[in-house]
A = this chain, B = another copy of it.
Amino acid sequence: MSTPTKFNLADTVALLSRTPATLDALLRGMPDLWAQSNEGNGTWSAFDIVGHLIAGERADWMPRLRIILKDGEARPFDPFDRFAQSRESQGKSLEQLLDEFARLRKESLAELEALNLQPPDFTRRGRHPALGPVTASQLIATWAVHDLTHLHQLSRVLAHQYRDAVGPWSAYLGVLKCVGHSAP
């Protein structure tokens, strides 16, 4: 049960397709304490995280897959702007962002399905500007784990708001000991 598993497209789509509804169930209508608070200067709130996932749908996942299938390693991916959301989310409500993310994810997955990728396609290569050669399956797996990285971050950001409120129980609550692990 514990061996990290090989890539499977249907399993990956099962996860990718559930992320918008998961975030919707957790965040729609949430009080500002949870929706807008972050972990300190320069860190992200729930609102920022949903904005970042939207930016990924627009500029990262399917655009990079298209580059792999069209140009292979000949054309490196465009670097991904991890801060695009601060401009693009401006003036929107969290509910608007949740709707936008759900719509874009649905479009991305419809395009992925229409590609009708077969196992030999999964080993096709592209070139990441910093990481070097990567395969189509690594890109699609990363898309799913990127969702999970931000669900992980989101649970930590929310928990942070009650760091003091839990009193001595903080000793037992693993999420309060997570210091974040993403590369800068």
Contact = CB atoms under 8 A, between A and B. Distances in A.
Interface of A: 1-2, 4-8, 10-12, 14-15, 18-19, 21-22, 24-26, 29-31, 33-34, 36-41, 43, 45, 128, 131-132, 134-135, 137-139, 141-142, 144-146, 148-149, 151-153, 155-156, 158-169, 171-178, 180-183
A39 B5 CA distance: 11
B145 A39 contact: no
Given A4-B160, A11-B33, A171-B183, 12 more contacts: A2-B38, A5-B33, A5-B162, A18-B30, A134-B167, A138-B166, A141-B162, A145-B166, A152-B152, A152-B155, A176-B181, A178-B178
A contacts with B: majority SS: helix
Contacts of A139: 169
A18 to B, nearest CB: 5
A181 B177 contact: yes
B168 A131 contact: yes
20 contacts: A1-B36, A1-B38, A2-B39, A5-B33, A5-B37, A11-B34, A12-B162, A14-B31, A18-B25, A22-B26, A128-B169, A138-B167, A145-B166, A148-B156, A149-B174, A149-B176, A155-B155, A172-B183, A174-B180, A178-B178
Given A14-B34, A162-B144, A167-B135, A2 B41 contact: yes
Nearest to A29: B14
